[in-house]
A and B are shown apart, each in its own frame.
Chain A
């Protein structure tokens, strides 16, 4: 096994190398596998030469496996770089032990490896090798007296001679991405849908990057009702993306992507300004609630942006409410809490959104003097949970809003359970800014109707 770290030289190789005058072997000094350039060169050769006809009548398929180690960073962080290097060397040996002499194994860099298999019959044979590699590389490593565990994810693409190396690698990479997103520690073959999904994502990304500049974002507003007074308290501003071809794109389809692309800070700033400006058109008593995402805290400029939005629009700070989820508290909680405190000092209200869906720990409720806690829609029908959170809120001096209220009975019940506000389709779906005035005008009547209905 150890004698075969380097693939045996092939008959044709020396000849070819004399002709093209490239070094015989470009290796990764750490693992003694091929390096990225060597892998690339050998892949290109394999694709170009297609093996001359007399010996092999049908051009052979070849398979490229891209391998990423899972949790390798943890080894480097916990055991040190020397241990990380030792582990990579073990990986190299384990890789080779599962391959034939003629197969090419390479370390592309960091914890990325690649294998080139030629002359293997089809998906089944390659599956067997991939499964073996996932198993082998996932077995424990003993390094400097410590046990290290890493896993391996593998993406596989087939190619025929004549294909572009670039394309094969991209396909294997898409398959690798899929193996990872399916949960790591597994292999996945390239399939056409992956390319289509990647293409769709690229297009979405492209459009999303331009959306702000093209003015394609809109805010919709959903009413929040004061349950004690049975009157409108304000609106939550909800972002929508109206694309000329895609139509109205729901937030769950673009907000996570916008966060990933680092666009959320800028989009969030626009939302703040827009919501404040819009709220100035409403009766004085009404508040506007704006969601603030984790990335907006990262830049450290949120407080300034909120202050600017208030001063530019002229909205009194007491009419603005900022909704944060507990992920904000979890992310870099010290700096986030500092920023929340500064926002509160501006006179802005701060509420904890989606309570009940995540950790929802008492510690988080106590970590900051929130003005309000919003109970996630998932619990609108769970009297015990609603009552408990409402009681907790009352005791901590926080108001409580139930989201997702859909029926008159539900609304009556959460009122009885001690919640102070309600929001949901019963009152209204989110509506565009142009319909807010009309909604305000008819909401009183609607509330009276709901009360009557519940009494029946």
Chain B
């Protein structure tokens, strides 16, 4: 049934959360809860990174589903300055087991908005984001 071609989107955005660390963490948990609920319904898998100043997210699914959820995320006031690093057909899901895996600030200390959005290196930055997320998730699963 799931034979619509797969598409993977990687973006970073600037966090607009302005509360204390604990408040922000709570807000992100709410995002995650909604994400997991909706993504399971929509056949989306992926991972979300939240660090000091930025979000980075991978979304996988049919192109239509990815576009739909991206548009919804796009107008969320909790972040801005979205830069799409990659949006490509993908042979298989990287995060197939995750309606939305999460990598928090401890595991993502090196992640900064400015670093991912430097000019002319979107392809590299998208690999960096994917690598970061893969690595962090592998570590937590192993632990």
A binding-site residues for B, Cβ under 8 Å = 90, 93-94, 97, 135-136, 139-147
Contact = CB atoms under 8 A, between A and B. Distances in A.
Contact of A147 (B63, B75, B84, B89): B84
14 contacts: A90-B71, A93-B75, A135-B80, A139-B80, A139-B82, A140-B84, A142-B67, A142-B71, A142-B87, A143-B67, A145-B7, A145-B67, A145-B89, A146-B87
A94 B75 contact: yes
Interface in B112-132: none
Interface residues of B, number: 16
Nearest to A97: B75
B75 A139 contact: yes
Q: DSSP class of A's interface residues: helix, strand, loop or mixed?
A: mixed
A142 B84 contact: yes
Contacts of B63: 144-145
Interface string B68-107: 0011001100001011100111000000000000000000
Contacts, number: 36
Interface string B49-60: 000000000000
B63 to A, nearest CB: 6
Nearest to B88: A145
Interface string B3-46: 00001010000000000000000000000000000000000000
Contacts of B74: 139-142
Given A142-B9, A145-B7, A145-B63, A93 B71 contact: yes
A404 B71 CA distance: 57
Residue of B7, B67, B88 with most partner-chain A CB within 10 A? B67
A293 B71 CA distance: 47
A405 B112 CA distance: 55
Given A90-B71, A140-B82, A144-B63, 6 more contacts: A97-B75, A139-B75, A140-B84, A143-B67, A145-B7, A147-B84
B71 A136 contact: no
B87 A145 contact: yes
Nearest to A132: B77
B75 A142 contact: no
